[in-house]
Amino acid sequence: MKIAVIGGAGYIGSHTIIELYKAGHSVVAVDNLVNSCDESLRRVAEIIGQPVPFIKADARDAAAMDKIFKENHFDACIHFAGLKAVGESVAKPLEYYENNMNATFVLLNAMRNNGCKNFIFSSSATVYGNPAEIPITEKCPKGAITNPYGQTKSMLEQVLIDVQKAAPEWNVVLLRYFNPIGAHPSGRIGEDPNGIPNNLMPYITQTAVGIRKELGVFGNDYDTPDGTGVRDYIHVCDLASGHVSALKAIENKCGLAIYNLGTGHGYSVLDVVHAFEKVNGIKVPYSIKPRRAGDIATCYCNPEKAYKELGWKAQFGIEEMCRDAWNWQKNNPNGYRKG
Ligand code: NAD
Ligand code: WQD
């Protein structure tokens, strides 16, 4: 299939392009580079041994999206483009709603105007709020969301459900990602956050490489085995291959389909720190800090539905996630931009 990969220069998009090529698909990556740089795509090209067609454009630019969809006759669109920092979204709600909602509206219109009816959306476990059940199945009701970023995911899921209902010939797959970490095993592409990382793994790798002094562990008084927060970390390459599987659902005319993409295993913050130290033979200094506002104790999924219906399941364990995250960080201590 020929796939439009919107937000393709970013962390998950760049890894997904590799899996798409491996499965025999072709892509055009589109990105405005607001949170990435095209060096990621140059390195993807190096890994796959062929150039990655790339168009620098903003997904909110209706004329640009219309032209791209008109000229390319895509079979499907995978939509990664969005702003994703939870804390920043609380400080800049308008920017988050404006970017994430409008980008999706404009894309859907460009698709409708040009006969592309297959859409894969990057949703998030955040739509479950403080989950009503653990492990979380797709039947779990959506929960109260405490930040504008999460609201955009939940609202866009509803928009997409309604769009598909009104046009049943569309196939729409909502992928609810759990916590993607790690990097391509080559160490050439990985997560390159701007400024101080919000997420656990980039904070750990930046501490290990000496950019940060110590990791703050946000709370050790949760109702979890060691008191620290438990999450379902998933290797970004496994998450990427989940998109290839989602294309199979589209080929089978799934209509609307919703899948959790996680491993089904919950690891605490200290489990991750200790796994990272053990597999990489490097210390991660840390101290216990107060809880972070909006955090929940435990979040991990039941990934059976994706396995039963798509044959997809995660292949990598926490050791590989920690090994590959460190391989990326130590080979690119300043990410893509500075060497
Ligand atoms: P990322 O920031 O690395 O990638 C997103 C890409 O979209 C970036 O390259 C950015 O430049 C681009 N972009 C943003 N707004 C755009 C616009 N208006 N037009 C064109 N390009 C635009 O983030 P990621 O971690 O790769 O996440 C990809 C998607 O998955 C996002 O939608 C994110 O919300 C979602 N998601 C991420 C996680 C996670 O933990 N990383 C978890 C759940 C869901
Ligand atoms: C994981 C655990 C923290 C940093 C977020 C978004 C979610 C999704 C994935 C996009 C928690 C603890 C973290 C640190 C710490 N993104 N932690 N010290 O919060 O599960 O999910 O990213 O959709 O929507 O909310 O991920 O990596 O920030 O935190 O102790 O410096 O690590 O408290 O228990 P989270 P995270």
Q: Is 149 a catalytic residue?
A: yes
Q: How far is the CA of 162 from the centre of ligand 2 (A)?
A: 30
What is the pLDDT at residue 337?
79
Residue 65's pLDDT is: 99
Please check the confidence at residue 186 and state whether its pLDDT lies above 60: yes
pLDDT of residue 339: 47
Is the pLDDT at 238 greater than 50, yes or no? yes
Query: Could you identify the atom of ligand 2 that is nearest to the CA of residue 269?
Result: 32
Averaged over 271-279, what is the pLDDT?
98
**Percent of the chain predicted with pLDDT > 90:** 99
pLDDT tens digits, one per residue of 254-268: 999 999 999 999 999
pLDDT in tens, 148-164: 999 999 999 999 999 99
pLDDT tens, position by position, 23-54: 999 999 999 999 999 999 999 999 999 999 99
Distance 199 CA to ligand 2 centre (A): 5
Q: Which of 86, 222, 263 to mutate to test the pocket of ligand 2 (most atoms within 8 A of CB)?
A: 86
* 179 CB within 6 A, ligand 2: yes
Q: What is the arithmetic mean of pLDDT over 196-215?
A: 97
300-318 pLDDT per residue, tens:
999 999 999 999 999 999 9
State if residue 199 touches ligand 2 by the CB under 6 angstroms criterion.
yes
* Confidence bin at 94 (pLDDT 50/70/90): very high
| pLDDT score recorded for residue 180 | 98
Q: Contacts by 102-108 with C-beta closer than 8 Å and gap 24+?
A: 102/60, 103/6, 103/58, 103/59, 103/60, 103/79, 104/59, 104/79, 104/156, 104/159, 104/160, 105/159, 106/59, 106/60, 106/61, 106/62, 106/65, 107/6, 107/59, 107/65, 107/77, 107/79, 108/159, 108/163
